[in-house]
Amino acid sequence: MHTIILPIQEIVKQPSLESVLDEVLEKHQNPEDRHEIAAILESLGWNDIRAREIFGVADVFELADILWERCSSKVMYTTFSKVERLSFHEMTMLLIRQFLRGVIFAVPMAISVVCMLTLKYSLWSYENLSVELATSIAIGTILSFVTVGGFTQAIARRGFFYIIQGYYNMARRITFHFIRLGFLVCLLICAAILILNLVIKVFPVDMLVVIILYFFFLNTIWLSVTVMYILKKELLFTGLIIVGIVVVFILFSVLNVNIIVSQLIALSLVSIISMILVIYLFKKAELKEEKGISPQLPKMSVTLFSTLPYYIYGTLYFAFLFIDRIVAWTRNSDFMPYLIWFRGEYELGLDFALLVLILPMGISEVVLTKMMMDIEISQKSYWGDETQIMNRKFFSVYVRRLLQIFLTAVISAGLLYWMLVELFANFPSLSTKSLFTSSETYLVFIVSLIAYILVAVALMNAVILFSLSQPDFAVRAIWISLLVNMGSGFLLSRWIDYHYAVFGLLLGSIVFLYLSTKEVVRVLHNLDYYLYAAS
Amino acid sequence: MIPVMETVTMLCSFLFSYFLLFVWLPSLFIRFEEESSSRLDKLFISLTHSTLFYMIIVHLLIGVRLLETITLFAITIGCIVLLSRYYSRSESISRSMKILTALFDLTEDREQWKIELRRLIKHLRDKSLLQLQEGKQAIIKQPILISAFLLVFSVAMIDRFRYSFTHLSFASSDSYVHLGWSKYLSNMTIYLDGVYPYGFESIIATIYDMFGMDMYVIVRFMGALTVLLMMLSLVYALRRMIGKDYKTILLTVFLLFFSSSMMIGNSVILWRQLSALSMEFATIFLFPGITFFYLFFKTNKRTYLLLAAECYAITAFTHPFVAVTLTLAFVAVGIAYLRKLLINKTWIRILIYMGVAGFIGILPPLIGLLMGKPFHGSSLNYIKGEFISNGSIPVLETLSIFANEQLFITIMYICLIIYFIGWFIYRHLYRDREWSVTDQAPIVMAAIFLILMVIIYLSPELGLPSIVPVDRQPVFLSMSAALLFGIGFGSFIKYFKGEKLRSRLQVLGCSVLMLWVLFVPGQKVDFPQGDRHQYDESIRAYLDIKGNYPLKNWDVISPVDELGLIQGYGYHTELWEFVRNIEDSDKKLIEFKTSYVFLFVEKVPIDIANEDIRPISLQDAESSFPVVTTGLLTEFYYGDIQNRRILQAKAYYWAEDYMKNNNDIKVFLDTPNMKIYEIYQGKDTVTLTKKKQVTSK
């Protein structure tokens, strides 16, 4: 056996073709062509003489040719870096947390309903208001939801984006930027309402003042709630609502102050405290952030462009939820004095039906978290040619989740109905306005109950689309649904009776469910592509 | 009694709403022809389009039971969007994209929007300064003429608006009818009292629905606004037909609105101009219709034919007498342009346009009649009554009487004959091309139009079928006379060569005629008296109740005249029904479904004929309750002064008696004419017991 023994010095100095190639690839993992390799070689100190001496080639270009051939034939494999699966305990805790998170968000609504039934008032409603005042408060409230809806979505999207990455400073800056924009829009709307009312005498000044004050304070509250939500301090808001109701109780029931004044004082107090709390919470959260990390925010036009679909969705979503009320209340029967005339019977049916969303909202959080985690974990377990299998698997997962949510919503509706029947049967003194004494309220309640079941499912679809960064699909679905809701409700309320506007909500919900499901199915059939696009 | 500030605010809000919706907003989206871009063009073209648009839309929406603020706004905005899209279809970047990019630009460059804003402010400032400069130049150039114009317009307006400022009630009974119909129309009830053209009502309903304005405000000022627009329509017609001869225009406007000669000595014309009436409203479109039709022949542009047809449709929609008059005016224009009418089958095109326009106008009443609704009873009776002709006086004698009575018209025709003789001589002897045949078309048209109006005016005497009732004919006769005067005077003055001479002659003519009207006794028409249906106190009380009491929670007991005002804000109980109930011994309780009840009592009952004006007495109260036997209930109880006196007296003595024994009643208003009582029992409803007892509040 003939062996060549080289001096130690030579063994060390003489590189192999493989090591040279590695060196080149370290500089650029995917060289464009052999010329680029030649350039890299020269940058690494290779010249024609050295190449000739070591590898016996004519020049660097010949060496580059050899390396290019090797590089091209080299198949690169990377190992899966599998995401660690959570333990059963961890998973259970996470899901319970998510469920509570979803439910807690609806707790203030439940508290308000309980207060209405027991005290006859809450932070921004009162059972014995005159129609004028009820109209004003209803308009202020609806307007606040629709105005702020877009901003809450934008804040949630952008704020979460930075918070998840630990950039609390950026999250704070972008969040307050949106809050400022929210206030600006709110003030602009107030000014527009005032100017418009000068031209078009929609409401008298006293009603207008109530509308604007409720609108402004509720706007402030909703904006701060969103921040509390992204900072995972939902309970704080529930506490603030309770504080607000206590203030109303003291002022109205103990000190006999006018209900509107009491509520406005409480609302202003809650808004100020919540805004201060939001600033404090962010300051506190920023302390978690590593010192010295304070990158620039992206260009505002870029931020706006990327969050615009979420903003539009938020606005359209709240418009979808409330448009049937506006449609019903604007139905002119027997010479209506104003453009909008509050109808308590309609409101009552919808308010009770809205409670059906509490349970599905909690379940939805769980289902979605689980599904998105599964997708995140499993996607890397499939080969490139197994995308169809992955897509099919997640489609079937989605169908199961859809059914789960639907069943939860149906059960929730059944429970709610049973509870209300029991409530009004056993405690008739709870409210002078029972669900079951007015045929209009009853019809509205039943139809809206069905509609909200469908909305609950459709909302899950929308959140799936958001999770896969496809807000445009959600926007398209809700936009058409809103038009159907508005159009059909308008015609039915005008041609039959005002409370038939609720069928608009039902039709809109059916369309929302259908379109959103269609969009999700479309996305899931091409999940690989959308996962790639989302990344 | 009548706060000036309140009235001014009401007037301003009404004028703003009207002009915003019918003039300013449409003028932003309408493309005007190059030669039709003056302010008056923009005013009348926009007004024509928008008026017809809303008349059609209101009727269509009622047809599908969808008339309301939201639909009106939605259709308005939809049309604006479609129109602007249509006009901007050639632009490469859509408007929504422009807005989006502007928004992004705004976020990137914080200073840019300030620059843009400054640029906009500067542009607006420069534009206003330029207009001011132009105005200043015009004043410097012709200070007397402009002052005279301002003076004539101001005095005419003060004259017409004076009633609205000094009275809260309406000047004539028909205004109450139009108010009531408009409210019902707004509530999607059409042809409540029978089929009648609802074009005027649809305009009132549009303003009410879109601006949330109390219809009372609209009706209170609509009459005077109509006069303003009529004046401007005359200016517009003359401006387009005789050019910038402002002295002639001024003189014509002055004569039409101040001179009894031009008004055919009929004070009813003036009276009608104070009230919101559909015929006067439709008359706004008479001169523009003629002008557009004239411009069509002059320019051969289809746009003007369309505009003329629109005016025709508006008149058909609003008032048949104006539609008939406009038809005759179109005939006059057609005769003046006979040669053009006959070439290229123009007349067929015109017939199609006018046929469609007329059909659109009469379609709603036609559908109403086909659906089995009867024709509006009193209008039908009125037409039947007015259409009867005597037909006994010989033609020549009739014309001779007319010529003597209407000296102004006679003189105009004598001058016209002289003018045409002069024109003929000038043209043929001197072969002056400036005096072409086509230039004479306006004067020929105006002369034929006036002749037709004279024939209509004299139709009862001539034994011809009367297509416009006798008492309405003077309105159209005076307008056609004004048109001929303006065009004739303007054409006549052109005879004289030399600007200075012409100007001096015009000044002389204007001065003489104006002074004659102003200082010769009997030349200025006095305002007629009577036809009062309501005391101002009644409206004052309505406005205060509406402003201070919860809406839909009060009931007013009064004659029918308050009904139209109250609808939509509270409830109304007929006085005769209330009195019948308090007189009915079987009825122990009188119940109202509201917390507040107001009883309106006239201490001096209103006599519409203005003859029996005296306070009520106990004797009236003791008279037996009048039981209606025939005719309209409201006419029987409130039109008949004796019955009205009995009702008012019974209500008054009942209230006084009730007040002595109950403390849930108080006096809301007490004036020499009226006393208004307020009843409030601290509950959701009011129940009046016949048994006299003290109730606690």
Among A332, A488, A492, A493, pick the best mutation site for testing chain B contact (most B Cβ within 10 A). Answer: A332
> Each residue of A243-260: pLDDT tens digit?
999 999 999 999 989 999
- For residues B168 and B161, the answer to whether their CB atoms sit within 8 Å is no
Q: Report H helices in A249-293.
A: 259-286
Say whether A335 and B108 touch across the interface (CB within 8 A): no
Backbone angles phi, psi at B195, to 5 degrees: -75, 130
pLDDT: is A183 or A5 the higher one?
Answer: A183
Tell me: pLDDT of B692 over 60. Answer: no
- Closest-approach residue (CA) in chain B for A331: B68
Backbone angles phi, psi at B193, to 5 degrees: -100, 20
Say whether A304 and B104 touch across the interface (CB within 8 A): yes
Among B67, B68, B99, B543, pick the best mutation site for testing chain A contact (most A Cβ within 10 A). Answer: B68
- Closest-approach residue (CA) in chain A for B101: A301
A338 contacts in chain B (CB < 8 Å)? 212, 551
The whole-angstrom separation of Cα B600 and Cα A327 is: 37
Q: Which pLDDT does position A8 carry in this prediction?
A: 42
Say whether B70 and A490 touch across the interface (CB within 8 A): yes
User: H or E segment at B565?
Assistant: helix B563-566
Say whether B68 and A330 touch across the interface (CB within 8 A): yes
Say whether A201 and B68 touch across the interface (CB within 8 A): no
Q: Does A200 touch chain B (CB under 8 A)?
A: yes
Provide the whole-model pTM. Answer: 0.82
* Tokens, residue B666: 């108080």
Identity of the residue in A132, A304, A332 whose CB atom sits nearest the CB atom of B550: A132
The whole-angstrom separation of Cα A71 and Cα A28 is: 11
The whole-angstrom separation of Cα A11 and Cα B372 is: 115
Identity of the residue in A202, A305, A490 whose CB atom sits nearest the CB atom of B212: A202
The whole-angstrom separation of Cα B161 and Cα B146 is: 22
Predicted complex: ipTM over 0.90: no
| CA dihedral over B306, B308, B314, B316, signed as positive or negative | negative
The whole-angstrom separation of Cα A156 and Cα B23 is: 46
Tell me: pLDDT of B268 over 60. Answer: yes
**In the block, residue with structure tokens 């930075």:** A162
Say whether B103 and A336 touch across the interface (CB within 8 A): no
- Strand order across the beta sheet in which B665-670 lies: B571-574, B554-558, B596-602, B674-680, B665-670
**In the block, residue with structure tokens 């959140």:** A463
Mean pLDDT (whole number) for A188-196: 91
Residue B399 CA, chain-centre distance (Å), reads 32
**In the block, residue with structure tokens 């003291």:** A250
Say whether A335 and B551 touch across the interface (CB within 8 A): no
- Closest-approach residue (CA) in chain B for A339: B69
Q: Does B684 touch chain A (CB under 8 A)?
A: no
Q: Which pLDDT does position A521 carry in this prediction?
A: 94
- For residues B580 and B626, the answer to whether their CB atoms sit within 8 Å is no
Q: Which pLDDT does position B325 carry in this prediction?
A: 95
Q: Does A305 touch chain B (CB under 8 A)?
A: yes
Q: Does B623 touch chain A (CB under 8 A)?
A: no
> Each residue of B565-623: pLDDT tens digit?
998 889 999 999 999 998 888 888 889 999 999 999 999 999 877 778 899 999 999 98
| Distance of residue A511 Cα from the nearest chain B Cα, in angstroms | 23
Identity of the residue in A199, A299, A339 whose CB atom sits nearest the CB atom of B69: A339
- Provide the chain A residues 94-153 that lie in CB contact (below 8 A) with chain B: 130-132
- Provide the chain B residues 208-247 that lie in CB contact (below 8 A) with chain A: 210-213
Q: Does A495 touch chain B (CB under 8 A)?
A: yes
Tell me: pLDDT of A85 over 70. Answer: no
Q: Does A334 touch chain B (CB under 8 A)?
A: yes
A306 contacts in chain B (CB < 8 Å)? none
Interface contacts A/B by beta carbons within 8 Å? 56
| Distance of residue A302 Cα from the nearest chain B Cα, in angstroms | 8
| Distance of residue A196 Cα from the nearest chain B Cα, in angstroms | 9
Say whether A335 and B65 touch across the interface (CB within 8 A): no
Q: Tell me how many degrees the CA angle A88-A93-A94 measures, rounded to the nearest 5.
A: 95
The average confidence (pLDDT) of chain A is: 84
| CA dihedral over A339, A344, A346, A352, signed as positive or negative | positive
pLDDT: is A201 or A268 the higher one?
Answer: A268
Q: Does A177 touch chain B (CB under 8 A)?
A: no
* Tokens, residue A285: 């959260």
CB atoms within 10 A of CB A520: 25
The whole-angstrom separation of Cα B52 and Cα A417 is: 53
Q: Does B294 touch chain A (CB under 8 A)?
A: no
Q: Does A339 touch chain B (CB under 8 A)?
A: yes
| Distance of residue A386 Cα from the nearest chain B Cα, in angstroms | 41
> Each residue of A357-385: pLDDT tens digit?
888 887 887 778 778 877 777 777 777 77
Q: How confident is the model at residue B358 (pLDDT cuts 50, 70, 90)?
A: very high
Q: Does A530 touch chain B (CB under 8 A)?
A: no
Say whether A132 and B551 touch across the interface (CB within 8 A): yes
Tell me: pLDDT of B494 over 60. Answer: yes
A200 contacts in chain B (CB < 8 Å)? 17, 210-212
Identity of the residue in A130, A201, A332 whose CB atom sits nearest the CB atom of B68: A332
- Closest-approach residue (CA) in chain A for B61: A494
Q: How confident is the model at residue A3 (pLDDT cuts 50, 70, 90)?
A: very low
- Closest-approach residue (CA) in chain A for B74: A487
Q: Does A188 touch chain B (CB under 8 A)?
A: no
The whole-angstrom separation of Cα B54 and Cα B46 is: 12
The whole-angstrom separation of Cα B322 and Cα B314 is: 9
> Each residue of A471-504: pLDDT tens digit?
999 999 999 999 999 999 999 999 999 999 999 9
Exposure b/e, B612-622, CB count within 10 A at least 16 = b = eeeebeeebbe
> Each residue of B552-561: pLDDT tens digit?
889 999 999 8
Give the three-state DSSP class for B122: helix
> Each residue of B64-95: pLDDT tens digit?
999 999 999 999 999 998 888 888 777 767 77
Q: Does B567 touch chain A (CB under 8 A)?
A: yes
Mean pLDDT (whole number) for B452-466: 84
Q: How confident is the model at residue B693 (pLDDT cuts 50, 70, 90)?
A: very low
Q: Mean pLDDT lowest for which of A449-458, B158-167, B443-452?
A: B158-167
Say whether A301 and B210 touch across the interface (CB within 8 A): no
- For residues B470 and B460, the answer to whether their CB atoms sit within 8 Å is yes
Identity of the residue in A199, A335, A495 whose CB atom sits nearest the CB atom of B211: A199
Give the three-state DSSP class for B628: coil
Question: Which residues are paired to B589 by β-bridges?
Answer: B689
Exposure b/e, B375-390, CB count within 10 A at least 16 = b = ebeebeeebeebeebe
Say whether B567 and A490 touch across the interface (CB within 8 A): no
Q: Which pLDDT does position A5 carry in this prediction?
A: 42
Q: Does A180 touch chain B (CB under 8 A)?
A: no
Q: How confident is the model at residue B253 (pLDDT cuts 50, 70, 90)?
A: confident
Q: Which pLDDT does position A50 carry in this prediction?
A: 85
**In the block, residue with structure tokens 């260009």:** A299
- For residues B599 and B676, the answer to whether their CB atoms sit within 8 Å is yes
A495 contacts in chain B (CB < 8 Å)? 65
CB atoms within 10 A of CB A378: 16
A332 contacts in chain B (CB < 8 Å)? 68, 187
Q: How confident is the model at residue B381 (pLDDT cuts 50, 70, 90)?
A: low
Tell me: pLDDT of B661 over 80. Answer: yes
A202 contacts in chain B (CB < 8 Å)? 212
- Closest-approach residue (CA) in chain B for A336: B568
* Maximal C-alpha separation, chain A: 114
Identity of the residue in B104, B183, B212 whose CB atom sits nearest the CB atom of A339: B212
Identity of the residue in B68, B107, B569 whose CB atom sits nearest the CB atom of A337: B569
| Distance of residue A186 Cα from the nearest chain B Cα, in angstroms | 17
Q: At residue A59, what is the residue type?
A: D
Say whether B108 and A494 touch across the interface (CB within 8 A): no
B68 contacts in chain A (CB < 8 Å)? 330, 332, 494
Contacts of A16 (CB under 8 A, 6+ apart): none
